[in-house]
């Protein structure tokens, strides 16, 4: 039996994962958060399991002693914060080294995930534990897709990808705040032989999913992949990731707000995250519960420029399941004793076939087109 401490258990994504985890798995779950009442409600929904709950606030003075008392074999951090502010950013992961507990998080902050391994790898290896950051759609799933299709090319040179959830999909305040944090701010983009600067939630465009999702708006987002993939996939010269909101007036409204930051009228939109999140919930009855992700990979194959498109489509409010599949697969690796000591981003931990099997079981569609010649 593995003792698993889940911090931030009430988050949208973690709740989905807990609801579908096989109750026969040898897991002893300890759910932690700041609000005991909401933890009790969550435990009631998971009545088929033996679950403990505990109030832990990572901003309090005694959280280390609380975590140490629990003695987890695995700690899942869904509480954040995932912003990089020096060594203190990794306090929980470093404490897991001290108590010899494995650690997973769902971070997608570029600088946080980039700095994770350099700051923690030596300590993790000495403690004999695995510390894994970014067990989510990026970089975990995006890396799996690239590794799967890169073999079709003699030289993979460009990747263009994006995510657009349905407007009716439940969204937490933390997710909204993380997006607002880089809106209008300069972000790193890989275009050509060296990184260049773009601006968060700008360069808006329409992407056609060619199915029930139709055309969706996209805009620039900051993710860890730009930094991580430069080393893992050195032939890639252009890497572009964007995300979007289904409702045009919300997407373009946020684009307009991003300009306030870019021209210096507002320092950071994250300070208004609570208000913007509440406003977005007023319109949740509009739009759909359908979301998707796409990746277009392009490169040289037999002296021709070719590309292939992979696409994920989630109907019936299944979108929030997608980021948790990577975490579920990581938990299975832990149960099987396959985790090697060290700190690293969640890349190469599972294959696209592993992911697709889990997705299909949830009714999530994953498909790719044929390798096609690009007209230059």
Question: In this structure, what CATH number is given to the domain that contains residue 92?
Answer: 3.40.50.720
CATH of the domain at 175: 3.30.360.10
pLDDT computed for residue 91 by the predictor: 94
In contact, 67 and 61? CB cutoff 8 Å: no
DSSP string, 280-323: HHTTTTSS-S-EEEEEEEEEEETTEEEEEEEEEEE-TT-GGGHH
pLDDT score of 47 more than 80: no
* From 47-61, 125-139, 303-317, 339-353, the region with the lowest mean pLDDT: 47-61
Reported pTM: 0.94
Number of domains in the chain: 2
* Coil, strand or helix at 107: coil
pLDDT at 80: 76
Range of the domain at 333: 2-136+321-350
- Beta pairing partners, 130: 342
Q: Tell me what the mean pLDDT of segment 331-339 comes to.
A: 94
In the chain, what percentage of residues exceed pLDDT 70? Answer: 98
Whether residue 152 sits in one domain with residue 75: no
Residue 196: pLDDT band by 50, 70, 90 thresholds? confident
Q: Do 149 and 87 reside in the same domain of the chain?
A: no
DSSP state of 225: H
pLDDT at 194: 64
pLDDT at 212: 82
Q: Of 79-93, 155-169, 244-258, 323-337, which gets the smallest average pLDDT?
A: 79-93
Q: Are residues 342 and 238 in the same domain?
A: no
Whether residues 58 and 179 fall in one domain: no
- Whether the pLDDT of residue 192 is over 80: the answer is no
Predicted confidence at residue 210, as pLDDT, reads: 87
Residues 76 and 21 in one domain: yes
Judgement on whether residues 329 and 197 belong to the same structural domain of the protein: no
Check residue 250 and give its pLDDT. 97
- Same domain membership, residue 215 and residue 246: yes
Residue of 82 and 243 predicted with greater confidence: 243
* pLDDT tens digits, 22-37: 888 899 999 999 999 9
**Is residue 103 within 8 Å of 75, Cβ to Cβ?**
yes
Distances (CA, A) of 365 to 4, 95, 292: 30, 39, 9
Query: Which of 292, 314, 324, 360 minimizes the C-alpha distance to 15?
Result: 324
- Do 163 and 286 sit in the same domain of this protein? yes
| pLDDT at residue 85, as a whole number | 67
- How confident is the model at residue 249, as a pLDDT? 97
* Cα torsion angle, 87, 134, 103, 165, sign: positive
Give the list of residues 6+ apart from residue 365 with CB closer than 8 angstroms, or none: 311, 312, 313, 314, 315, 359
Contact 295, 145 (CB under 8 A): yes
Integer Cα distance of 309 and 374 in angstroms: 12
Residues 101 and 158 in one domain: no
Q: How many CB atoms lie within 10 A of CB 295?
A: 22
């Amino acid at each position: 039996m593995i003792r698993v401490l889940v911090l931030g258990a009430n988050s949208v994504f973690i709740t989905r994962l807990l609801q579908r985890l096989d109750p026969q798995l040898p897991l002893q779950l300890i759910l932690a958060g700041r609000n005991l009442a909401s933890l009790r409600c969550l435990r009631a929904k998971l009545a088929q399991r033996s679950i403990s709950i505990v109030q832990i606030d990572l901003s309090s003075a005694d959280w280390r002693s609380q975590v140490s008392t629990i003695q987890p074999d695995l700690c899942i951090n869904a509480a954040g914060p995932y912003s990089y502010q020096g060594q203190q950013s990794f306090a929980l992961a470093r404490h897991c080294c001290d108590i010899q507990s494995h650690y997973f998080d769902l971070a997608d902050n570029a600088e946080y995930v980039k700095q994770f391994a350099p700051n923690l790898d030596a300590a993790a290896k000495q403690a004999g534990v695995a510390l894994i950051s970014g067990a989510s759609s990026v970089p975990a799933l995006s890396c799996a897709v690239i590794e799967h299709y890169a073999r079709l090319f003699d030289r993979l040179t460009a990747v263009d990808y994006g995510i657009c959830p349905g407007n009716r999909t439940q969204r937490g305040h933390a997710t909204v705040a993380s997006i607002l944090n880089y809106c209008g701010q300069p972000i790193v983009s890989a275009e050509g032989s060296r990184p260049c600067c773009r601006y968060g939630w700008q360069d808006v465009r329409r992407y056609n999913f060619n199915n029930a999702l139709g055309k969706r708006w996209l805009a620039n987002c900051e993710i860890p992949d730009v930094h991580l993939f430069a080393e893992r996939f050195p032939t890639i010269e252009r890497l572009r990731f964007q995300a979007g909101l289904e409702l045009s007036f919300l997407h373009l409204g946020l684009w307009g707000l991003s300009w306030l930051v870019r021209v210096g009228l507002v320092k950071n939109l994250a300070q208004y995250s609570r208000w913007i999140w509440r406003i977005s919930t007023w319109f949740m009855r509009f739009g759909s519960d359908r979301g998707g992700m796409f990746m277009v990979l392009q490169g040289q194959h037999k002296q021709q420029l070719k590309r292939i498109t992979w696409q994920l489509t989630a109907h019936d409010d299944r979108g929030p399941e997608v980021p948790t599949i990577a975490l579920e697969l990581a938990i299975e690796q832990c149960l099987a004793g396959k985790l090697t000591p060290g700190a690293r981003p969640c890349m190469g931990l599972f294959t696209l076939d592993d992911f697709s099997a889990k997705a299909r079981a949830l009714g999530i569609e994953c498909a790719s087109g044929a390798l096609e010649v690009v007209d230059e």
